[in-house]
Amino acid sequence: MIEDGKILRNIAIKGDFRLIEFQSPEIAAKVLPGQFAHIKIHELRDRVLRRPFSIYDTGKNGRLSVVFKVVGEGTGILAGLKEGATCNIIGPLGKPFSLPESGKTPVIIAGGYGCAATYILAKKSPSGIILIGARNEGELILVKEFESLGFEVRISTDDGSAGKKGLVTDLLKALIKEKKDRLGYLSFYGCGPHGMLTAAGKIIASAGLDGELSMDHLMCCGIGACFACVQKIKDKSSPEGWRYARTCKEGPVFKVSDVVF
Ligand SMILES: Cc1cc2nc3c(=O)[nH]c(=O)nc-3n(C[C@H](O)[C@H](O)[C@H](O)COP(=O)(O)OP(=O)(O)OC[C@H]3O[C@@H](n4cnc5c(N)ncnc54)[C@H](O)[C@@H]3O)c2cc1C
Ligand code: FES
């Protein structure tokens, strides 16, 4: 689906993170957890290259919002767009997270914008636990929003300025130990930097568990045509035992057991 999204709000939420809300009724009506929007920023010099953003939330009257971090030219320009301006949006794209099976509790591992990418999943699931990792307190976002959903929020920061000092994967190891008698009742999900996802995926697999990770890669077309966004996944039918999957079309969400880390 493709439509022009009128900007209703574009506000700073914390540090370099912002929330932008579009009126995008066609796309908003179809969004599933973990799907993304491919946004064309008209003011950008290389405007043919859209920028992919996970859909944070949808609301009344066709509202669709994204939480983004200003990291470069595209996000810098996006940050400066005013109410009433438009961006052309393709979406919702990608394979979504599956909701936890009945009786299972979600455990989300998130870093950076990973909290935004998993918010709809949390909203549609029974309340569970989210492990959030950040460099420091200034990079922690959406904690209150997850608490409002009844989620238990466990935090780690590299410098100890909030939560436990260390890595979010330390929180994951501790949780697996703590819940060792109930592991079969937990559904694991992850979104964040690749290093974090690789470490989390290995921990989940080595505990004999499975889960779903959003393996976000740089994207070009966003619709499966260019192979710019590939991830190695296991494939018994190929002589090498693996193949490249297009994360925009076959992902970004993959089972831990399918990913080659
Ligand atoms: C599925 C997915 C979901 C995401 N969700 C979020 C989110 O919710 N919030 C968030 O903050 N970030 C998210 N990101 C990351 C976000 O897309 C990047 O931060 C953003 O694209 C950076 O754009 P920029 O222009 O500001 O940065 P820059 O570093 O300036 O832009 C990236 C640069 O790479 C170039 N480039 C991009 N793709 C290609 C390519 N295929 N080949 C060659 N050059 C290329 C661009 O032209 C640009 O110059 C997500 C990424 C993916 C893949
Ligand atoms: S971005 Fe073109 S195939 Fe995924």
Ligand 1: which of 113, 191, 248, 253 to mutate, judged by most atoms within 8 Å of the beta carbon? 113
pLDDT at 178: 97
Closest ligand 1 atom, CA of 94? 1
pLDDT at 132: 98
Distance 220 CA to ligand 2 centre (A): 5
Ligand 1: which of 44, 51, 230 to mutate, judged by most atoms within 8 Å of the beta carbon? 51
Q: What is the pLDDT of residues 130-167, one digit of tens each?
A: 999 999 999 999 999 999 999 999 999 999 999 999 99
C-beta neighbour count of 60 within 10 angstroms = 6
Report the percent of the chain where pLDDT is more than 70: 100
pLDDT at 74 over 90: yes
End-to-end CA distance of the chain: give it in Å, rounded.
Answer: 32
Closest C-alpha among 133, 7, 140 to residue 66:
7
CATH 3.40.50.80 fits 105-258, yes or no: yes
Closest C-alpha among 29, 38, 24, 27 to residue 218:
38
- 78, 95 Cβ separation under 8 angstroms: no
| Contact residues for 17 (Cβ-Cβ < 8 A; gap 6+) | 67, 68, 69, 113, 139, 141
What pTM was estimated for this model as a whole? Answer: 0.95
Ligand 1: which of 20, 45, 70, 73 to mutate, judged by most atoms within 8 Å of the beta carbon? 73
| Contact residues for 90 (Cβ-Cβ < 8 A; gap 6+) | 1, 2, 37, 38, 40, 50, 222, 223
Domain with CATH 2.40.30.10 in the chain: 2-93
Domain with CATH 3.40.50.80 in the chain: 105-258
The SS3 call for residue 172 is helix
Average pLDDT of 89-97? 98
Q: Which helix (H) or strand (E) holds 233?
A: strand 230-234
Closest C-alpha among 161, 167, 110 to residue 136:
161
- 142, 116 Cβ separation under 8 angstroms: yes
| Structural tokens at position 126 | 């029974």
Task: Among the bound ligands, name the one nearest to the CA of residue 250.
Answer: 2
- 2, 90 Cβ separation under 8 angstroms: yes
pLDDT at 47: 66
Side by side, the strands of the sheet bearing 129-134 are 164-165, 152-157, 129-134, 105-111, 186-191, 211-214, 253-255
| Contact residues for 105 (Cβ-Cβ < 8 A; gap 6+) | 126, 128, 129, 185, 186, 187
| Structural tokens at position 230 | 């590939």
CATH 2.40.30.10 fits 2-93, yes or no: yes
Concatenating the DSSP letter of every residue in 30-56 gives: T--TT-EEEEE-TTSTTTTS-EEEE--
pLDDT at 46 over 80: no
Q: What is the pLDDT of residues 172-210, one digit of tens each?
A: 999 999 999 999 999 999 999 999 999 999 999 999 999
Distance 218 CA to ligand 1 centre (A): 6
